Amino acid sequence: MPSVFLNGKRVNTSEKTLFSAFPKKENTIAILNGFQISEDIELNNDDSIYIIQKGILPPRDELEAMMSARHTPAVHKILKKSKVAVAGLGGLGSNIAISLARIGVGKLFLVDFDIVEPSNLNRQSYYIKHLGMFKTEALKEQLNDINPFIEVKTKNIKISEENAVNLFKDYEIVCEALDNPASKAMLVNTLLINLPKTKIISASGMAGFESSNTIKTEKKMKNLYLCGDYTTPAEPGSGLMAPRVMVCAGHQANMILRLLLGIEKP
């Protein structure tokens, strides 16, 4: 008689297979040990099963248990207790924040001063309905729709050499996602000098439509990681476009994930 976990709670069953124990119903999906199952499979003791009804938000404990199963419990536990700051919410920062929310980072601090405008829609994670909104407010709205069980703190302010330390002093991981080269350099240098325990994930070179394979992540010094191809700026004939920008954002988000898990090698 297998003893399994169903939606996070232990149950006993006399049946030997998944769908004989928990018959498959219309508009539901079954996840067994972190993987979606469409065909019947034999059950084993301590299997983790989630039967999820499509289109309905499960209770918080069930959703967190499901995410834990997807990410593996040890990873989810670490991410849930983690916090990350994202400086700049454009093509990089907005997509990075989306990834961090999806993996369940418990606390996000989003900093930007700008509003959503039409030119942002080609690569940034905003919709037409967000036009005219502060990026902090628009992104927080999206993150709440993705994962309402994380804490999102925002600040509408332009980052400067004078306020950077005070803004980010409580965060051991800061993602630099500004779009101005001078501002990028200012933030990185200010944090490296004044917050020696803070790890910074920065980016340079993701414009145009060159091969995705030229984008990489490197550890440039003790607390600085750089993502991009380092050579392709936005210029006439080579604008910022969603695919490569999102590839670079993915590199930054994945390096943040690795750092949260204690992995410092890119």
Q: What pLDDT was estimated at residue 182?
A: 95
Domains 3-57 and 76-260 share a fold: no
Q: What pLDDT was estimated at residue 254?
A: 98
Q: What pLDDT was estimated at residue 150?
A: 94
Q: What pLDDT was estimated at residue 122?
A: 95
Per-residue pLDDT of the chain (266 residues; tens, 9 = 90+): 689 988 888 999 999 999 999 998 888 888 888 788 889 999 999 988 888 888 888 888 777 777 777 787 789 899 999 999 999 999 999 999 999 999 999 999 999 999 999 999 999 999 999 999 999 999 999 999 999 989 999 999 999 999 999 999 999 999 999 999 999 999 999 999 999 999 999 999 999 999 999 999 999 999 999 999 999 888 888 889 999 999 999 999 999 999 999 999 99
Q: What pLDDT was estimated at residue 141?
A: 97
Q: E strands within 9-162? A: 9-12, 28-32, 35-37, 48-53, 83-87, 107-112, 151-156
Q: Return the domain boundaries, the chain.
A: 3-57, 76-260
Round to whole Å and give the CA distance between 72 and 160.
Answer: 39
Q: Which fold has domain 76-260?
A: Rossmann fold (3.40.50)
Q: What pLDDT was estimated at residue 62?
A: 76
Q: Which fold has domain 3-57?
A: Ubiquitin-like (UB roll) (3.10.20)
Round to whole Å and give the CA distance between 143 and 173.
Answer: 19
Please calculate the CA angle 127-125-170 and round it to the nearest 5 degrees: 130
Taking only the tens place, the pLDDT of each residue in 36-95 is: 888 999 999 998 888 888 888 888 877 777 777 778 778 989 999 999 999 999 999 999
Helix 242-260 to helix 91-102 angle (10° resolution) is: 50
Please, are residues 138 and 116 in contact by the beta-carbon 8 Å criterion?
Answer: yes
